[in-house]
Structure 1
């Protein structure tokens, strides 16, 4: 982000949660991004400056700065007479995002596996996978989201790739996950993260790459099925 970018997943960002806020504008920026995954903000929702200023305890100038940054990231749309709103993706846009995410997730997994094979520690990856499993067993959606973000942070840290850190935030997975929530999605994620994690911790680049891409294909299939059932897939 010069201003910190989206980092979540794919995240509540696309791939990983952002670092702790540093400025008042950061607090609003990251609060809205994280709020998408927690369903406190939803696609299409209007964002009123005075309400956000009160919610985050900041000035309206800081809110405006955050909204400009979110608009630059493609998370928020700014309208001259209607103000700001969380962006809504059309079905084709959603599938386009997933096409890009498929390649990037595979690359992230491959990069992390290569680093582990070269001796990078896998402790943070193992801890995140354990937290994902625990959150699933306790049916804690917020804990699951936090553990998922921790996994992507760990993969990015292990990969050591500055290019991945730069590129991943530009993928609009936070909006995809906020807008499309098939009932089967968490189980898809759980199974896929385990497969991807095992390949990465084994240092198997090819298997990690394949598992990362397959994960996004599975997400795409779940979302596409839901869109088709609603008659929205064109």
Structure 2
């Protein structure tokens, strides 16, 4: 489901019909129900009474709350990962993830970019050696934030910031890595804020109020 959000196969607010999901994934309805329950526990899906399941849609305040948490944890993740900079295999994997991100961006391949992004964060988690971060980081609802705010500028922003994070991590500079991770989420927040303000300024209600 998370991969589907990144690839725009699913969108926030979308209703999820068990029979359709069972057919799509080639599984039984019991398996679908179990998966929906698990996704509900993770905050990806909502299960309202007497209505079909739906992918969670974030309010403006929900989005800010997610970004507040992501800012702290991404900084901590990068700081912790810097402690593993001496691990040659992890360092090579992180460099490869950055190369793959750059290649996907140049090819305008969103699926490949999403895959490389997941490898980038998995490598940081492995380098950190922090079990609590491995448990908590996937629970942050950034996939919904990105699915709900489809900004053309975000991919380039992510690639630029990931390079800065990787450089600090690979150099073993914990403070710089923390700052880079924190700055990345702040940059995302700023980009979303600009987009939200622009959308509000051009909405029919706003134009009508100015007349």
TM-score by length of 2: 0.92
| Residue 213 of structure 1, CA deviation | 0.5
| Residue 231 of structure 1, CA deviation | 2.1
The answer as to 2:92 corresponding to 1:120 is no
Three-state SS of the structure 2 residue aligned to 1:184 is: helix
Three-state SS of the structure 2 residue aligned to 1:43 is: coil
TM-score by length of 1: 0.83
The answer as to 2:45 corresponding to 1:102 is no
Q: CA-atom RMSD, angstroms?
A: 1.0
The answer as to 2:66 corresponding to 1:92 is no
What is the match of residue 124 of structure 2?
A: 155
What is the match of residue 37 of structure 1?
A: 6
1:24-63 matches, within 5 Å, as: 32-63=1-32
**Structure 1 unmatched ranges of 5 or more:** 1-31
Higher helix share: 2
Which of 90, 107, 118 aligns to 1:138? It is 107
2:119, 2:138 → 1: CA distance?
A: 15
Q: Is the 8 A contact 2:83 2:127 kept in 1?
A: no
The answer as to 2:198 corresponding to 1:229 is yes
Q: In the comparison of the two structures, how many residue pairs are matched?
A: 199
| Residue 169 of structure 1, CA deviation | 1.8
What is the match of residue 214 of structure 1?
A: 183
* Structure label with greater radius of gyration: 2
1:161, 1:76 → 2: CA distance?
A: 27
Q: Is the 8 A contact 1:135 1:141 kept in 2?
A: yes
1:140, 1:65 → 2: CA distance?
A: 32
Q: Is the 8 A contact 1:102 1:213 kept in 2?
A: yes
Q: Is the 8 A contact 1:91 1:227 kept in 2?
A: no
